[in-house]
Structure 1
């Protein structure tokens, strides 16, 4: 098949003019989709990005690295919005479970290595009966969960389906003994709450059972304190596996082999990888072939293999294109890697033989053969789509470090291939499929980590200054993921771009800060400072101002840093620049006007109202927003959102009963809130909901008729209502301090 000559560069690749290219209404509509863009970024980012990002610790959102987790996601790029619904099963559904064979547990027990973390987790499980074990991907937390139950001496261990929703958890615990729920997917729309664990604990007491839930390190554990899992030392795991395969007198000799010493010297390895290496060591018979198999393990072997693939003249351009494409689409459907590899092959042919028209063979090697040559594997997995889960043949390298090593080697070791690679990545960034665009950003983030100046000059800056919306989002995604990989000076670049002379660079940096901080809560303070610096200029267009507000509001989606963020916003209220104060209030109001799972109202009801400083700061922001003419209408709309949520949830109702008196300092405050509650209607336009009358009674305790509000006798007395008692929590043994919470 002959490929037509290359088309002229797309206009979104090279624009540099300052004029705003789209209408304000269109830009504002797209800006409001920042939350959906954030969900899409996390859903489609490859595992090798989050696994490399130690600050994130795993795939972050429910372990769902290659599809949208629960709830609703949107494709918001390229000038359109597509809604994708991925609903969870009803809370009353019955899920499959089964007993794990005793021989499997006994076999695991012979090679499992206990650590201090395991001992502490075992003591906590014995006392509390339910334990959440959180750890990064492939660190052996599932094996630890089985052994925690096995060492308790339970009569049987039952595996619960990972499809079990947190709300339905206690209903599945009907049998005595141990229960394990491995890799529970969590998301903003499907968090695991402390109340659900307490209900499970009560049920376990009735049946004399125990439960261990394993999760990725996740921000969606609301009120639940997990036990953090750390794997045992690699040397201890290796010795344990060898002890069951070779005689004791052989162990020291095997451990002294050069490939074994090299393997152990390269730091920690995943327990599963160590177990596979132990099998090779146990099979060592002194032959060159056995020594080669040992040497094949480890990073050095991966790097050498990647260099050989790319430099071997016997490996054709099409095979090399497939290797590179597979690195970008690792753990994604094979058809994507194969289809887009041929597009890269076209770019390689044009680069190497510009005088010849590119040709792609219509038929070629079978998928299994191509994967075997690439030292990769494939298996059927369910891929999330807007129509539901669809089985797809998913391809991945056997060595999980291969994608990063291979892409870095292409970029730094073969600079002559850069023109083709750059053209290909630009093409991927314009693709209509979200996963393709996100993978282009992820690959470019890896290139930026290896050589930032070149990646910015050849790819990122061109996307950032584009007149089109899609490339700018790709630039923001790239910079976000590059910061997760700790690429150098990314934070400084984003800070400078927030006040850049070009409107599109400012837009890109502002959006990137909104995407980044929920993944890196430690960057909330510098992100807010950079956004406030742009607001201080006071010359933003309406579209840019809306982008600033949306990105600043996203900072309040960081659960562990929300109290700190509220304090920073209160500080901005005292800023001498009106535009900075307006940004703080507008962002707060927008964050409040959100009824999704783990929204600000959820956090306030479960955590914030019990923290003195946080409750004071939130009340101060509410009072200021309600009393500010420019924000009163928006604040009242957000308050209606909270009241409607209180109609559905008892904890939110209690939170509002505590909050409302703190918002009444003047008679005007009292009249405004009373008028709003008196005129509140149900979301469907029906009569005033009962919760409104209940809250009116809180505002007017001296009258039984909520329709006749009374002015407060002493408004100052209402600013500090009695704090409700936090729901009782079970006693827990003393645990070491978690430095990440300091």
Structure 2
């Protein structure tokens, strides 16, 4: 639970506790219900339930808003939930990438990337045509390439360090091409550092005629030879040493040859070995260069201006994908493919990358790296340390899936953050993270392409079902975590799985949570269903409609909480469902042993959220039209209204302006008489109802204290108070409040009470 929450108004107006006879924290159990055997990891089921407390709907929704992934983030057009901070509706709102294009049926196109392998497959000569084709579209970033050429000319051998798919192999070939080294021989990647010099031996056949500059010409007029070794394999105990490079340079000098060796950023190099960093050029520059080899300049400019091209470039694709995209654009310009194929290419490339990650054997992508990729999909743009911590938990569960007899082994050290993020095509950055104690700055990790998390989770869930047992066990661990961020991301992950395969997600994850005796589990089920509905999962309202009338009160609890979150987009249906649930609850109102006080509180909190949502006007109108209905409906309306009046902007109870008071002020400013008169009438009804008078006066005292610190709040309250006086009783009640209420900490009444008292009629006229 985040922070201290004010008590909610129950059916009798005051703060409410658990249902009579209920187990501590459980809220009671309907007759005949079976209680699942749920235990916390660090104690028994009974101890876990004693520690488990229901979080108010307001604070739970705040955690959902704060910690949902960026693909499900808040915005100005929220579909459900909301406050009024700075004019924005704060609820769970639309991400741009959660539509059918990402979460629906997987695209079936597959694109190849010819000539863009990251390493030479075996020893052999690189065809001259390949070198010429690469040179025609090769671009560099700044002047660094010229410096690398000079360094290679001087040292004969150059170690080029860069991440996979950044064009490091192409750069190696172009360095040799710039020196005029021909032919260029590709060495087998199985070459070891110790055998490096032995690979540079003169061949019997004379080199062919050169095509480069004169800088590669031998004294006798011949041509210098070139060697390229991609992805030199190094490891601890077999590092690349300076002696290896010196021996190689001697051999190369003997035959007037040059060599470029490419390595990854985590290659094991001796301290004396200085690798040159390869920094790839901008994707837009590479795309333009490739297009110019295929089309005239005016066509290139037209293609670069296409919206689909701009979107492709925004997603941070690898250079091999950029080159393949240029080929597709050339075919599009020639009328061979459709505009839809151009639009689909970015997503298809991402899908192919995700498939590649999980289809590669462990020599390329280790199981621990795959676990990290899944964790990053769940915690995208979250704290890196948290993601890494929980990815190791998943790694242990995956090891057990592969071999239950194996004790999970998790290396404590040795995994470099840079290596992990490069593999994941992700980046780290410093940003603020919401916590119970306010925002704190943390190091976060996020995919370059925000669609990656959705595509990756879909691929794992549907493409690799054998991973489901470990993934489900992992999600259940996350739901038990004490950190709101972790529980929220468990819910958002399950929402994506439900969008992909609703029946399996319901049976394996959501329903067990929804029928748990622990509030935290049920809350994760609520958030899962809410976010699943938000990203377009069908049938969620139907599930909630069924659960709202279920025999199992835990399902009813989940339905009520979820109605509060998705209700603003379908307020009429949500309000009808809440009224039906309240009527069913009040059948036992006269029997304290059967009446569920906790559920009554949940219903009032659900109404509170609906009142403070984008559907506020429609909800207010509905409440006003039913104030004369039976006791159950009236309690639902007044309880929800009093709860809503407690809420302040920014959840700052001392200095934040009450949200309902701000709503009233806006209604006056915009001449919205319906809203202004409706708020005033609900206040009069709450103050005059014996069940709610005490709670309403308590809230009004808080408003007066806030008005003593805020001129804006004082003006709004000064406009509201006269409208609450229509009878002598109402006049007496408010004047007594303002004349007798104490100040904060037992101090005398604040001066604002005198000013507010002057706004009331000095002498109430007779009826």
Cα distance in structure 2, aligned partners of 1:627 and 1:422: 52
Query: CA, structure 1 residues 29+553, in 2 after alignment: closer, same or farther (shift >3 Å)?
Result: farther
- 2:652 maps to none
1:250 aligns to 2:292 (yes or no): no
- Residue 33 of structure 2: which of 1, 18, 25 is its match? 18
Aligned residue pairs total 505
What is the deviation of 1:464? 1.0
Matched residue of 2:509: which SS? helix
Matched residue of 1:305: which SS? helix
- 1:211 maps to none
What is the deviation of 1:473? 1.2
User: Contact (CA 8 Å) 1:50, 1:56: kept in 2 or not?
Assistant: no
Cα distance in structure 1, aligned partners of 2:640 and 2:51: 15
Matched residue of 2:744: which SS? coil
User: Contact (CA 8 Å) 2:80, 2:569: kept in 1 or not?
Assistant: no
Cα distance in structure 2, aligned partners of 1:566 and 1:692: 29
- 2:628 maps to 574
- 1:33 maps to 56
Matched residue of 1:475: which SS? helix
1:376 aligns to 2:426 (yes or no): yes
- Residue 318 of structure 1: which of 368, 380, 388 is its match? 368
- 2:752 maps to 691
1:269 aligns to 2:311 (yes or no): yes
- 1:635 maps to 696
Query: CA, structure 1 residues 648+53, in 2 after alignment: closer, same or farther (shift >3 Å)?
Result: closer
Cα distance in structure 2, aligned partners of 1:53 and 1:482: 20
- 1:550 maps to 605
What is the deviation of 1:499? 2.2
- Residue 303 of structure 1: which of 339, 344, 351 is its match? 351
Cα distance in structure 1, aligned partners of 2:347 and 2:515: 38
Cα distance in structure 2, aligned partners of 1:366 and 1:640: 57
User: Contact (CA 8 Å) 2:54, 2:519: kept in 1 or not?
Assistant: no
- 2:276 maps to none
Q: How do residues 524-543 of structure 1 correspond to structure 2 at under 5 angstroms?
A: 524-537=571-584, 538=586, 539=588, 540-543=595-598
Query: CA, structure 1 residues 60+339, in 2 after alignment: closer, same or farther (shift >3 Å)?
Result: farther
- Residue 359 of structure 1: which of 409, 412, 425 is its match? 409
Query: CA, structure 1 residues 623+357, in 2 after alignment: closer, same or farther (shift >3 Å)?
Result: same
Cα distance in structure 2, aligned partners of 1:329 and 1:307: 20
Q: How do residues 649-688 of structure 1 correspond to structure 2 at under 5 angstroms?
A: 649-688=710-749
Q: Which has the larger radius of gyration?
A: 2
What is the deviation of 1:612? 0.6
1:583 aligns to 2:636 (yes or no): yes
Query: CA, structure 1 residues 681+18, in 2 after alignment: closer, same or farther (shift >3 Å)?
Result: same
Cα distance in structure 1, aligned partners of 2:351 and 2:294: 34
What is the deviation of 1:249? 7.7
Matched residue of 2:449: which SS? coil
What is the deviation of 1:337? 2.1
Query: CA, structure 1 residues 297+624, in 2 after alignment: closer, same or farther (shift >3 Å)?
Result: same
Matched residue of 1:432: which SS? coil
Query: CA, structure 1 residues 276+319, in 2 after alignment: closer, same or farther (shift >3 Å)?
Result: closer
1:475 aligns to 2:530 (yes or no): no
Cα distance in structure 1, aligned partners of 2:82 and 2:366: 34
What is the deviation of 1:516? 4.1
Q: How do residues 456-495 of structure 1 correspond to structure 2 at under 5 angstroms?
A: 456-495=506-545
Matched residue of 2:446: which SS? strand
Over aligned residues, Cα RMSD in angstroms?
4.4
User: Contact (CA 8 Å) 1:605, 1:651: kept in 2 or not?
Assistant: no
Query: CA, structure 1 residues 620+393, in 2 after alignment: closer, same or farther (shift >3 Å)?
Result: closer
- Residue 613 of structure 1: which of 656, 674, 685 is its match? 674
Query: CA, structure 1 residues 466+57, in 2 after alignment: closer, same or farther (shift >3 Å)?
Result: closer
Cα distance in structure 2, aligned partners of 1:442 and 1:47: 11
Query: CA, structure 1 residues 19+415, in 2 after alignment: closer, same or farther (shift >3 Å)?
Result: closer
Cα distance in structure 2, aligned partners of 1:18 and 1:274: 53
Cα distance in structure 1, aligned partners of 2:68 and 2:397: 25
User: Contact (CA 8 Å) 1:622, 1:663: kept in 2 or not?
Assistant: yes
Query: CA, structure 1 residues 390+548, in 2 after alignment: closer, same or farther (shift >3 Å)?
Result: closer
Query: CA, structure 1 residues 699+256, in 2 after alignment: closer, same or farther (shift >3 Å)?
Result: closer
Cα distance in structure 1, aligned partners of 2:688 and 2:744: 25
What is the deviation of 1:512? 2.3
Query: CA, structure 1 residues 368+248, in 2 after alignment: closer, same or farther (shift >3 Å)?
Result: closer
Range with greater deviation from structure 2 (390-399 or 447-456): 390-399
The alignment's TM-score, normalised by the length of structure 1, stands at 0.60
- 1:227 maps to none
User: Contact (CA 8 Å) 1:376, 1:395: kept in 2 or not?
Assistant: yes
Matched residue of 2:396: which SS? helix
Determine which structure has greater relative contact order: mean sequence separation of CA pairs < 8 Å that are 6+ residues apart, divided by chain length: 2
- 1:599 maps to 659
Cα distance in structure 2, aligned partners of 1:393 and 1:382: 9
User: Contact (CA 8 Å) 1:35, 1:554: kept in 2 or not?
Assistant: yes
